[in-house]
Amino acid sequence: MSGHISNWELMAYSFPEIFEGKVNLITKIQASKGLNKIINEYRSLSGNEMIEIGFSLKKVFEKLKKNEFIGFLVDQSAHPDYSAYIDFFGHKTTSFSGPAKIFLKQRPEMLLGYFIRKEDYSYVLKFEKIYYEDIADNNDENIKLLTQRMQNGIESIIRNNPGQWLWFHKRFKHMKN
């Protein structure tokens, strides 16, 4: 998983070149069909596959059974009806809980991957493992706990590299007190 940190599109594009295997990217359908087509064509140029939200669950399970990589961007606001309210930068805000549900059901390794742009405009690719072996059951409480761990990882990266987070996508539009 990752977020809108540094050049996330370049990270996804370069993944097949670095690791000799594609990543299946969970993508949001854009409002403009033309723009959606263009963006997804560019995202798949290096061999990656797009799985659009709404058509994703069955495909994700198929890809995980084949031991393929699944890429989620987890730093966006989610609709309150299918999300968990978690703490993010001191605010209770929505976060997609689908990745946590999938991870708790299938139990693949969970990595937080991200690029950091250096002063010379080159990039460093980093991975951090998100541990969840201590979470046994796939219930609402544990889904929220794992979703919080994912968001803690994203928040830590942003705190360490605040100028590299692209956050104009209204991350805090659904909040609770």
Establish if 24 belongs to a structural domain: yes
- What is the reported pLDDT for 152? 97
Establish if 133 belongs to a structural domain: yes
Establish if 169 belongs to a structural domain: yes
- What is the reported pLDDT for 174? 87
Establish if 3 belongs to a structural domain: no
Establish if 1 belongs to a structural domain: no
- What is the reported pLDDT for 53? 84
And the tokens for 91? 């605010």
Domain encompassing residue 14:
8-176
And the tokens for 161? 């590299």
Give the type of residue at 42.
Answer: Y
**Running DSSP on this structure, what letter comes out for residue 165?**
B
Q: List 97's β-bridge partners, or say none.
A: none
Of 55, 166, 36, whose CA–CA distance to 114 is shortest? Answer: 166
- What is the reported pLDDT for 167? 76
Establish if 135 belongs to a structural domain: yes
Establish if 77 belongs to a structural domain: yes
- What is the reported pLDDT for 177? 78
- What is the reported pLDDT for 56? 74
Domain count, the chain: 1
User: Which burial class, exposed, middle or buried, applies to 139 when counting CB atoms under 10 A from its CB (0-12, 13-18, 19+)?
Assistant: exposed
pTM exceeding the 0.85 threshold for the entire prediction: yes
DSSP H or E run through 156 = helix 140-160
- What is the reported pLDDT for 30? 86
And the tokens for 107? 């139990």
And the tokens for 69? 């990589």
Establish if 2 belongs to a structural domain: no
**For the chain, which residues score pLDDT lower than 50?**
none
- What is the reported pLDDT for 103? 94
